[in-house]
A and B are shown apart, each in its own frame.
Chain A
Amino acid sequence: MASDTLNKALNVINVERRGTGVETRRTFTPDPEQAQDEDLREAVLELEREGEWIVQRVPEPYYEAGTKYGRKKKIPYEKTWHHKSCGQCGHIPGYSTSIFWLNRVLGYDYFDPRDQTSCTAWNYYASATSNQAAQAAVAMRNFAAAYETGYFPVIHCGTSFGHYKEVRHELVHDHDLRRKVRAMIERLGRPFVMPEEIVHYSEWMYAVRDELKARVVHDLSPIVATVHPACHYYKLQSGDAIYDPEIYGGQRTAAVTAVVQAMGAEVADYSTWYDCCGFGFRHILVQRDFTRSFATLRKIEVMKQEANPDVVLTHDTGCVTSLDKSQFAAQAHNRSVGVPVMSESQFAALAMGAHPFRVTQLHWHSTDYRPLLAKMGIDAERAWAEFQDDLQEIEAGRLDYLTWDRVL
């Protein structure tokens, strides 16, 4: 059913769409004294003064964003080293491509490294076939690689971001661990470096939201989105996630929501916003009955019932995967599913005129995204035909790869 027809039908049966104001009279005033996790920045710098490590400074100019308990976090605009996500690059390649595309459109200098491994935290949280020292060494090897290029790490995956914050916490507090990891990094001939801030790409999106807004070419006013905030983004080391008093009264993270609202779409609320997506790390790979059940029953169906969104937006690898892929099998049980899922980077790119297949690579997604594209005023059929022409050129050997100059 075309989405506008569906919307009319839902209006007839009186499905209520709620706004983003939180339904509570409580107010939240950020207070550093309330923070469960301390602000580690001074300790990180103190350890540099003691010769324990080098601190890589956030390159100027930077944006200062508010965090949960009031401290300001420095977010770099450019000279960024993109710590890619294995799940994004592997299975949702339009996610990473969109982040790079946005950097290019805004004219920001960035570096896409080959001297980078996965954070390996997906495996660690799935199987525990690793340990604290190994996980910290993997993180510090990647940070060293970033430092050597002169570019500042920006992390694409919510789990990598959360895990690296945990690693930083452990390295600051555990002298023995620090010495052990430093010895390994030095044996590799690398510098021992801690970044001044650990930055997630969705924080960069937040920092440049006005620049994104200025480049929107499609009318987003009819679009209703629901946002799934990624657990590992804001539950791990919770004091180091972006909050904004204008977004949910400062009671939930502003990542994703602030960007989507700034660009002109409506963000609708739903009651199970705090629930995880059901990814489970191990479950998504070998016990997906749990993932499918949780993603559809606790997230997608609740969103549909309470907010009836055109799209679900999130900012993490696992969340896009669980919420998108779980919907197919649920159709066999006549569940109320069928909402496209993507990252806010893909949504922003689409809104700014990115090609839905060359850039946002929506053909890798499972749930039907065409009604959303139609509502945004994007001709999916024409775009698919253009992409097929690209593929034919590659197959015929007239083009080695699809290059950036074809998509900008």
Chain B
Amino acid sequence: MMTVPYADVPIEEKTRLFEEVKADARYDSYLYGCYECGICVAACPSARFYDFSPRKIAQALAREDVELVYEQMNDDVWNCSQCFSCLRCPRGNSPGGLITIMREVAVKNGLRTTREALAGYTRIIYKIMTTGTQVSPDMLQEDAFPDWGPGVKTVSDNLALWRRALPPETMHTTAQSWQVEERTIRELYAIWKWTGTLDMIAQVDEGLHDIMEEVMDDALEESGIDLGP
């Protein structure tokens, strides 16, 4: 007899998450049904290297198969490359877009598999949310990118000097990709707070959330931005 994956999770919980996916304003424009033609799979880079299929994502959602959707939210969605090659779909579906929504719901609800998938990623979240630029020069460290060759260490060893050897005046930075004004960063913090984005981080990493909340609250206190109710 076949066992249902995640049988310990009540069907009501799986249904609740499925309804949350469906309630996203973008959902209806991302899913129009499925011919099962497999064009999306043929174009999909992740399907070549993982047991992953954008066709199955579209089908499971279209059939409202809440068991399978829950399984995919745990085991499949983080394999997607988000390249949107699947937009070749002759039916106009966006399996990649559906996956974006499924991931978002998985994060908001703090699924264990999501926390695991993002475990090595939290330093990036900290960088983008607190500095306004995601990929800073000082992230180029040999222990983080050993497979990129010895050039990473050379960059890292010479970083401050090499950044000063860049003609654009905004790029003489090491901890940010470019100089971002204080006001600009504070406005970004306000956006993270107003939209509940900061709260989402608590579901992935509570410690990271607390650190970022302190950074943002301190900065916003001096900003004059009315955070309001």
Contacts and interface: CB of A to CB of B under 8 A. Distances in A.
Interface of A: 36, 84-91, 93, 96-97, 100-101, 112-118, 120, 122-134, 137-138, 141, 145, 162, 170, 173-174, 176-177, 184, 187-188, 190, 231-232, 235-236, 238, 274-276, 278-283, 285-286, 288, 290, 292-294, 298, 325, 328-329, 358-359, 361, 363-366, 387, 390-391, 394-395, 400-404, 406-407
Given A127-B107, A184-B194, A132 B24 contact: yes
Nearest to A404: B167
Contacts of A387: 165
Contacts of A85: 177
B169 A87 contact: no
A407 B167 CA distance: 8
B48 interface: yes
A280 B80 CA distance: 7
A290 B47 CA distance: 11
6 contacts: A117-B185, A123-B125, A126-B121, A176-B25, A280-B82, A290-B49
Contacts of B145: 325
Contacts of B167: 97, 100-101, 358-359, 401-404, 406-407
Contacts of A361: 166
Nearest to B94: A236
Given A127-B107, A131-B196, A231 B85 contact: yes
B31 interface: no
Contacts of B98: none
Contacts of B140: 90-91
A89 B171 contact: yes
A114 B132 CA distance: 11
Interface stretch (B2-10, B11-19, B63-71, B197-205): B197-205
Contacts of B188: 117, 138, 141
Contacts of B178: 84, 89, 114, 116
Contacts of A113: 170
A407 B166 CA distance: 10
A117 B133 contact: yes
B195 A129 contact: no
Contacts, number: 259
Given A130-B200, A184-B191, A231-B84, A91 B137 contact: yes
Interface string B29-57: 10000000000000101101110000000
- Output the residue of A86, A141, A177, A395 with the most chain B CB within 10 A: A86
A148 B110 CA distance: 39
Nearest to B106: A128
Contacts of B137: 90-91, 93
A293 B49 contact: yes
Contacts of A279: 81, 83
A366 B204 CA distance: 33
B136 interface: yes
B169 to A, nearest CB: 7
B38 to A, nearest CB: 15
Contacts of B172: 401
A293 B50 CA distance: 12
Nearest to A332: B147
B176 to A, nearest CB: 8
A187 B187 CA distance: 10
A361 B181 CA distance: 25
A279 B184 CA distance: 29
Contacts of A132: 24-26
B165 A400 contact: no
B107 A401 contact: no
Contact of B121 (A232, A286, A329, A401): A286
Contacts of B177: 84-90, 118
Contacts of A100: 167-168
A97 B168 contact: yes
A118 B176 CA distance: 10
Give the top 7 A-B pairs by smallest Cβ distance, nearest first. Answer: A128-B103, A328-B149, A276-B83, A117-B132, A134-B195, A89-B177, A125-B82
A105 to B, nearest CB: 12
Contact of A86 (B103, B120, B125, B134): B134
B48 A236 contact: no
B107 to A, nearest CB: 5
B225 interface: yes
Given A84-B177, A116-B184, A123-B134, A129 B85 contact: no
Given A188-B225, A358-B167, A129 B204 contact: yes
Contact of B149 (A86, A120, A282, A366): A366
